[in-house]
Chain A
Amino acid sequence: MWKSGVVKQLGWTVCDDLLCIQEDGTVLIYDLFGNFKRHFSMGNEVGQSQVVEAKVFHSPYGTGVAIVTGASRFTLATNIDDLKLRRLPEVPGLQGAPTCWAVLTQDRQSKVLVATGADLFILDYTSPPGLSPQATSIVHMCVSFSYKYLALFTDSGHLWMGTANLKEKLSEVETKVRNPPKQMAWCRRPKSQQPSVVIMWDGHILVAGECKNTISYHLEGVSILVPELDGVRIINGTHHELLQEVPASCEEIFKIASMAPGALLLEAHKEYEKESQKADEYLREIKEQNLLGEAVKQCVEAAGHELEAETQKTLLRAASFGKCFLSNFPPEPFVSMCRDLRVLNAVRDYTVGIPLTHTQFKQMTVQVLIDRLVYRKLYPLAIEICRYLKTPEYQGVSRVLKHWACCKVQQKEEADEVIARAISLKLGEAAGISYSEIATKAYECGRTELAIKLLEFEPRSGEQVPLLLKMKRSQLALSKAIESGDTDLVYTVVTYLKNEMNRGDFFMTLRNQPVALSLYRQFCKHQEQDTLKDLFNQDDDHQELGNFYVKASYKEKAQIGHLQSAVDEYNKAKNEFAAKATEEEMRLLRFQKKLEEEKGESLVGFSLHDTIRTLLAVGLHKHAEQLYKDFRVPDKRYWWLKLTALAEKEDWEEIEKFAKSKKSPIGYLPFVEICVKHHNKYEAKKYVSRVTPEQKVKAHLAVGDLEGAADAAIERRNDGEISTVLSRCSPSTDRALVERLNRAKATAAKK
C-alpha cells in the first residue's frame, strides 16, 4: 500500500533504483526489491505551488531530475547522488504550465528546453528553423538519447525534426493526426542511416523519418515507449518489444537476394554443411572480389545484433568457416563476440531478465552489467561472468563478493560469529576487498560487534578510522590512524578525542602515543597556546616551558615577568647556560629601560652589541664601558665594536685616543682598513706602522702605498706576498718597482 503523497513521475536511476517524484517535490528512492533507501527534496519553494510535471534524465554525470512547478518555475538537479539544485530562470511570457518541455545536456551542462506556443526557450529566445507556418503551438517534444536531436510535434499535426541546438532542420513530416500524442521517442542508433521518431497515440504508433512516408503499427493495450541508445522499447502489460532500425550488417546478409559478401559466406557455409560443391563456388565468388575478410566481419557483426541464439550460432559458424580461408585475419573480434554473446544470452534469460542489445552492452561496459546483476542479488552469475571474462579481480570477483558480504551482514537471523566466519571464509583469498565498507554496512544495520569483527580483516588501517570513530572506538581509531601514517587522520582522531574525553584522560592518552602528541603540539602551537603550556607542564618538559615563556615575553607586555618564569624553568631543566643568558637579558632590559627614561634614547629590543654601539654613537662612552664590563664582553669584540662605531661617526680623534689607550687585542690592521673604508687614507696611514709584520703588506696595499708594500714584502722574502704586490702594479707606471720585485722573487726562489 502506498502511504506517501501523490506521485507525479516514476523513473529509474543509472544504478537501477526507482525514483518516485511526489507532488510536494519530495523524491523517494527505492531499490530493486522495493526497499526504501532514502529521500530528498527538490527545494522548499515547491511546497505550495506543487510539482506539475517531472522528468528523470541521464547524463555523463549520473541521473538527474527536473521538475516544473505550478508557478511554472523549473528546478533541476544534474546528479541526484551529489545533489545541487539549480533553479532556472523564469520563462518570459509563460502563462500557466508550458505545453511541453524536455531536458538537454549540452556543453557539459543540463538545460531545459521549454515550448510555449510556437516558441522554444533554452536560455535564449529562439524558434526552430523552418517550422510549418500552420503550427500555432508545439504540443509535444522529445530529445534523442544522445541529446543531439530534437523532435517537435505541433498542433497542426506536423512533426519537426532537427538538431537539439536548433541550428539545423532534418525534416518535417505531416502526420495528419491533430490530437497530441501520448508519447514520442527518437528511434536511432549510433551511425544511424535513417534517424526516425516513434509517435504513440492510443492504439497505434507511427514511425516517421526523413522521407515523407511513415510506418504505422497497431498497438494492443496501454503501452509506453522507452527510448534507448539503439532503438525504442515498447512495453505493455504482457509484452516487451524492441523497435529498431535494422543494423546495416543484418540487412546486408538477410536482404532478399542479397549479393553482399556476408550473405554469400552464409550461403557457402550452408552448402558446406550439406556437403555440396556449391560451397566452393560461393567461396570463390567472394574471394575473387577479395572480400572474404569483409564477409567474416559482416557475419560476426550481424551475430552480435541477432537476439536468437540459433541465428547467432549460424552466423558465427559461417564466420568461423570463412576464417579458415584467411591467413592473417585477426582473431580478436570473433573471439570477443563469442564471449559477449555468451554473457548476453545468459543475462537475457527470463530468470535474469536483462534483455540488452549488443550495442547497449558495449556502451554500458561489463563493469556496469556486473553492477546491475549485483543490484539484483544475482551474485553467482556475476562471479561466473567475471571469471569467464577474466575481469581483474579488483574490479570483478572481489567487488561482487564485497556486495555479497554487504548483503550478508543484513541477515538478521544469523549470529555475528557465523556471519563473520562465512564472510572471511569466502573473501579470504580475494584481493583488494574493502572490509571497512562491509563493516560500515554492518554498523548501519545496528551490528556494532559484527562491524568490529569485520574491521579486523581490513588491511588498510586508514580505512578503519572513520568507522571506528563512529562506533566510539576512539582509542583503537587513534592507533589505527597512527599506523596508517596519514597525519591528517591522526589529527582528526585527536580532535575527536579532545571533544569526547576530559582533559586529564585526553592528555594521558596522548602521552602513550608520541606521534599523536607531537602532532597535537604542532596544532596547539598555531591554535591554542595555553594548551601547549599545559602539555609541557604535564610532561615536566621544563626546557620547552622555558622556550614557551621566552616566546611569550616577545608577545606580551609583562616581559620581565615572563623571562623570570623562563629562568625558573631553565633552572629546573638544568640548563645553566639558558638560565644565565636569560638573567643577563633581564639585566640588559632593566638597563635599557632605565637609560631610555634617563636619556630618551630608544634601546629596548636591541642586542647587547647594538646597545653598546648606539651608546658609543651618541657619545655615552661611560655607559658603554659599563656594559662592556658588566656583561664581560670579550676584549676583542669590544675593540671591534668600538672601532666600527667610532669610524661610522668619523670620530678620528677618538679613534686615535682609543688606539693609544692600550695594546689593541685585534691588532692594527682593522684600524687601517676601517679608515680606508671610510675614505680617510690620511688617518689610515697613521696605523700602518703599528701593524704586525705579517700584515704589513696588506696594510700598505690598503692605503695604496705600493712602494711600502713592496718593501715589506721584499723584507719578508715571502713569495706569495711579492706576487700579490706584483699583481697590483701596472707594468707601465711602476716599472722600477716591478723590476725590483721580480729580482726579489728570483732570489727568494733560489733559497
Chain B
Amino acid sequence: MAAHLSYGRVNLNILREAARKELREFLDKCAGSKAIVWDEYLTGPFGLIAQYSLLKEHEVEKMFTLKGGRVPPADVKNIIFFVRPRLELMDIIAENVMSEDKLQPPREFHILFVPRRSLLCEQRLKEQGVLNSFTNIDEYILDLIPYDGDLLSMESESAFRECYLENDQTSLYHTAKGLMTLQALYGTIPQIFGKGECARHVANMMLRMKREFAGSQNQILPVFDTLLLLDRNVDLLTPLATQLTYEGLIDEIYGITNGYVKLPPEKFAQKKPGEGGKDLPTEPKKLQLNSAEELYAEIRDKNFNAVGAALSKKAKIISAAFEERHNAKTVGEIKQFVSQLPHMQAARNSLANHTSIAELIKDITSEFSSFSLLSLSHFLNYFCQVLPFSSRVTSEVFFDNLTVEQEFMTGVDTDKVNTYIEDCISRKDPLIKILRLVCMQSVCNNGLKQKVLDHYKREILQTYGYEHILTLNNLEKVGLLKPQTTTRNNYPTIRKTLKLWMEDANEQNPNDISYVYSGYAPLSVRLTQLLARPGWRSIEEVLKMLPGPHFEERQQLPTGLHKKRQQGENRTTLVFFLGGVTYAEIAALRFLSQMEDGGTEYVIATTKLINGTSWIKSLMDRPEAQIS
C-alpha cells in the first residue's frame, strides 16, 4: 500500500509502520465499537498514515467533524476525539461532552492529542469540569509524516508564521522531537550543519535531548551521515518565484494538499463518440500524486518544457507495447501479454491523466512552454488545436509575470517602482500575486527605498482595502518587505558568488539545478550543494550576509557504529527546511541526488510543503474574517 516509501535510499516505510503501530495500539485501548471526532485539520495528514480501512479493522464505525453542540447520535461504546492541543478546541470538546444525552446508554470519551499532550489543554478541560469524563487521554506523536520515498513533512501550515512572525517556537520543539524519533529509528546522525536562528535553536534542543536521554544509547547503525537545518528566512527569494517544474506548476496553479490535487474535471471526461459534451462531470477530479505512479515519478521534477517530449516518448512505448499483441502467436506468448495487461492499462491511464494535466497547464503557460507536440501519438492529438483567445490572454499574463520575476532575479531595475506591478494593481489582479512580486523586488534589492515602498503600500491599500495594512506589517516583520537601511545592496554579490543566475539553463537535459526555475538556481539548494562540495568554508563571506548564524555540530557515536564507507558509496544527507519547502527545491535536490559524480543523496524534511501563494497567505491577517 505504501511501497513507494521504501524505494528510496532510506526506507521511510519504517517510520510509517511505527506510526501505524502506535495508532492501532491506542485504538485497542478503547475496547469496543468507536466513533472518531476529528479536528478537521488532522484528516489530511492522517490520510498519509492510515486509510479508513485500518480504522475500520479496529472497530471505528463512525467519523464526525469536531464542532460545537452535541456529538451526533451513533450507537457506539466509545467516542474518541482526535485533536491538536489547542485551547479553542478544548472548549468545543467540553461543550460536546456536557451536552451528551443523559438518557442514551453512556458512551465513553477519550482524547488523542496530536502530536503531543498538553498540560495547558488538560488544565482547560479541568476548568470546564469535564476532565474526569475521559477514560483515556493520550498523545499520538506524529511529527514527521512520510510523504514520499525521500520526503518527510510535518504538515504544519502555520510553522513559518509562528516562528518568524509570532516568535512562537512550538513547531521547532516538535521538529526537534521529530528528529529524535527519526534518530531512534535510523540511528544517530553524526554531523549536524545549520544556518539561521531557528536552525540553531533546533540543533540546541536536539543536543540537549540527547544529553537527557544519555544511558539509553542508540545501537542502530546510522543511516544518515549529515543533517542540514536551513531556516526558510535564509532564502526568502525562492518560494516567491514561480516554480517551473511539472509538479511545481501543478502546485502553483491548482495547489497540492497532503499529496492530492483537485483539478477541473472537463479534460478528464471520457470521450466517447456520439455522446458529445453532454455529461460533463462537475465534481473536481481528485488525483493522488506520488512516486508510486511510475510515470509521475519520471516527469514530476522535469522542467515543464521537457514534459511534452517525455510524455510523447512514453506514449510511443505504450503504443508499441499494445502493438505487441499482434506478434503474440503462441498461447504462451498471449498468456504473457495478458499478464502484463493490468500494468499496461495502468500506465495508459496514468499517461492519459498526465496528458490532460499537462494540457491544462499549457493553456495557462503556453508562451513559456515550447512543447514539441507534433510527434505525439493519438493520445495527445488534441494538443494541436489552436488555443482559444481567452487562454492566450492568461498565458500572456503568465509570461509577463515570469519576465518580471526574472528581471528582478537578475537585478534589473529593482530599485525603481515597477510599471508591470503598477499595471497589475490597476487591473486589481489577485492581491497575493501583487504581494509576491513586491516582496520579490524587495528581497532582490535588499529592501526598497522608503519612497518606493510607501508607494506600493499606498497603492495596495487604496485598491485592495485598508485592512491589508496588517498584512503589510506582517510582511515587514518577517523581512519579506523592508525599507532599505544601507545603500549597499548585497543581493548581486550573493547572486554572483553562489551563481544563482545561469544564463544558459538547459531545460531538456539539465546540467545544473537552475533548470527548475529556467535560469534561477534556488539559493537554499545551492547552499546545500556547496556544503557537500567544497564545503561552506569557501563561502564564509556570503554566509555572513545571510541572516542568522551558521554552525556545525558533531554527535558522538558509540564505538562500533562508525560506518565504514565502501568505495564509491554515496553519503546520505537529510535536509530540513524550517518554515517550508517548495516542490521546485525538492526537484533540485533530487537532481543533485541523481548526479553521477554527486556523491551525496538527499532526503528532504520540512514543516510544510509550500508555494509562494500558500506561503504569503499564511502570513496574511484578515480582520474581517473574524466578524463573520
Asked if A and B bind, the verdict is yes
Shortest C-beta distance, A216 to chain B (Å), equals 43
Q: Is the CB of B216 within 8 A of A554?
A: no
A522-B166, A551-B623, A636-B422 given; A644·B214 CB < 8 A: no
Shortest C-beta distance, A587 to chain B (Å), equals 11
Total chain B interface residues with beta-carbon distance under 8 A: 55
CA distance A398 to B75 in the complex (A): 49
Partner of A492, one of B123, B211, B465: B123
Of A67-75, A294-302, A380-388, A601-609, the one touching chain B: A601-609
By a CB distance below 8 angstroms, the chain B residues around A119 are none
By a CB distance below 8 angstroms, the chain B residues around A550 are 467, 469-470, 623
By a CB distance below 8 angstroms, the chain A residues around B470 are 547, 550-551
Q: Is the CB of A640 within 8 A of B426?
A: yes
Q: Is the CB of B119 within 8 A of A492?
A: yes
Closest to B450 in A: A577
Q: Is the CB of B205 within 8 A of A485?
A: yes
Within 8 A of B (CB), among A128-176: none
Cβ of A10 within 8 Å of any chain B Cβ, yes or no, is no
CA distance A714 to B215 in the complex (A): 82
By a CB distance below 8 angstroms, the chain B residues around A543 are 473
By a CB distance below 8 angstroms, the chain B residues around A555 are 623, 626-627
Shortest C-beta distance, A533 to chain B (Å), equals 15
Q: Is the CB of A637 within 8 A of B87?
A: no
Cβ of A181 within 8 Å of any chain B Cβ, yes or no, is no
Q: Is the CB of A84 within 8 A of B135?
A: yes
Q: Is the CB of B167 within 8 A of A581?
A: no
Shortest C-beta distance, B366 to chain A (Å), equals 11
Closest to A527 in B: B87
Q: Is the CB of A581 within 8 A of B457?
A: yes
Q: Is the CB of A487 within 8 A of B170?
A: yes
Q: Is the CB of A640 within 8 A of B205?
A: no
Q: Is the CB of B168 within 8 A of A526?
A: no
A398-B215, A431-B215 given; A485·B469 CB < 8 A: no
CA distance A223 to B87 in the complex (A): 59
Total chain A interface residues with beta-carbon distance under 8 A: 64
Partner of B464, one of A578, A607, A639: A607
By a CB distance below 8 angstroms, the chain A residues around B173 are 485-487
Q: Is the CB of B168 within 8 A of A514?
A: no
Q: Is the CB of A631 within 8 A of B462?
A: yes
Cβ of A600 within 8 Å of any chain B Cβ, yes or no, is no
Q: Is the CB of B464 within 8 A of A609?
A: yes
Most buried by A among B214, B215, B466: B466
A515-B167, A581-B469, A633-B462 given; A491·B627 CB < 8 A: no
Shortest C-beta distance, B263 to chain A (Å), equals 26
Q: Is the CB of A607 within 8 A of B465?
A: yes
By a CB distance below 8 angstroms, the chain B residues around A392 are 216
Partner of B466, one of A109, A393, A515, A581: A581
Cβ of B569 within 8 Å of any chain A Cβ, yes or no, is no
By a CB distance below 8 angstroms, the chain B residues around A547 are 470, 473
Closest to A484 in B: B208
Q: Is the CB of A489 within 8 A of B465?
A: no
Give 1 or 0 for each of B194-219: 1 = CB within 8 Å of chain A CB: 00000001001100100111111000
Q: Is the CB of B170 within 8 A of A394?
A: no
Shortest C-beta distance, A397 to chain B (Å), equals 10
By a CB distance below 8 angstroms, the chain B residues around A608 are 461-463
Q: Is the CB of A526 within 8 A of B116?
A: no
Give 1 or 0 for each of B165-201: 1 = CB within 8 Å of chain A CB: 0111110110010000000000000000000000001
Shortest C-beta distance, A195 to chain B (Å), equals 29
Q: Is the CB of B623 within 8 A of A640?
A: no
CA distance A488 to B177 in the complex (A): 13
CA distance A303 to B396 in the complex (A): 88
Closest to B623 in A: A554
Cβ of B552 within 8 Å of any chain A Cβ, yes or no, is no
Q: How many residue pairs, one in A and one in B, have C-beta atoms under 8 Å apart?
A: 142
Q: Is the CB of B464 within 8 A of A526?
A: no
CA distance A641 to B428 in the complex (A): 9
A108-B31, A609-B464 given; A637·B85 CB < 8 A: no
By a CB distance below 8 angstroms, the chain A residues around B626 are 551, 554-555
Cβ of B544 within 8 Å of any chain A Cβ, yes or no, is no
A609-B462, A636-B426 given; A488·B623 CB < 8 A: no
Cβ of B553 within 8 Å of any chain A Cβ, yes or no, is no
CA distance A588 to B467 in the complex (A): 13
Cβ of A495 within 8 Å of any chain B Cβ, yes or no, is yes
CA distance A526 to B88 in the complex (A): 8
By a CB distance below 8 angstroms, the chain B residues around A485 are 169, 172-173, 176, 201, 204-205, 208
Cβ of A226 within 8 Å of any chain B Cβ, yes or no, is no
Q: Is the CB of B428 within 8 A of A609?
A: yes
Cβ of A582 within 8 Å of any chain B Cβ, yes or no, is yes
A108-B31, A488-B119 given; A606·B465 CB < 8 A: yes
Within 8 A of B (CB), among A424-452: 430-433
Within 8 A of B (CB), among A636-655: 636-637, 639-641, 644
Q: Is the CB of A488 within 8 A of B462?
A: no
CA distance A634 to B460 in the complex (A): 12
Cβ of B458 within 8 Å of any chain A Cβ, yes or no, is yes
CA distance A731 to B166 in the complex (A): 62
Partner of A640, one of B87, B118, B423, B465: B423
Shortest C-beta distance, B165 to chain A (Å), equals 10
CA distance A550 to B467 in the complex (A): 8
CA distance A298 to B454 in the complex (A): 91
Closest to A492 in B: B119
CA distance A484 to B457 in the complex (A): 41
Give 1 or 0 for each of B6-48: 1 = CB within 8 Å of chain A CB: 0000000000000000000000100100000000000000000
A488-B119, A555-B626, A582-B469 given; A637·B422 CB < 8 A: yes
Within 8 A of B (CB), among A606-620: 606-610
* 30 residue pairs A–B, Cβ–Cβ below 8 Å: A108-B28, A108-B31, A109-B31, A430-B215, A431-B214, A433-B215, A460-B212, A485-B201, A485-B204, A487-B168, A488-B116, A488-B117, A491-B118, A492-B120, A492-B123, A515-B167, A518-B166, A551-B470, A551-B623, A555-B627, A581-B461, A581-B466, A584-B466, A585-B466, A607-B464, A607-B465, A634-B422, A636-B423, A637-B422, A637-B459
Interface residues of A (CB under 8 A from B): 84, 107-109, 392-394, 398, 430-433, 459-461, 483-489, 491-492, 495, 514-515, 518-519, 521-523, 526-527, 543, 547, 550-551, 553-555, 577-578, 581-582, 584-585, 588, 605-610, 631, 633-634, 636-637, 639-641, 644, 666
Closest 8 CB pairs of A and B: A432-B215, A431-B215, A640-B426, A518-B167, A554-B623, A607-B465, A585-B466, A609-B463
A485-B201, A518-B167 known; 8 other A-B pairs, CB under 8 Å?
A: A483-B208, A521-B166, A554-B467, A555-B627, A607-B461, A607-B462, A633-B462, A641-B426
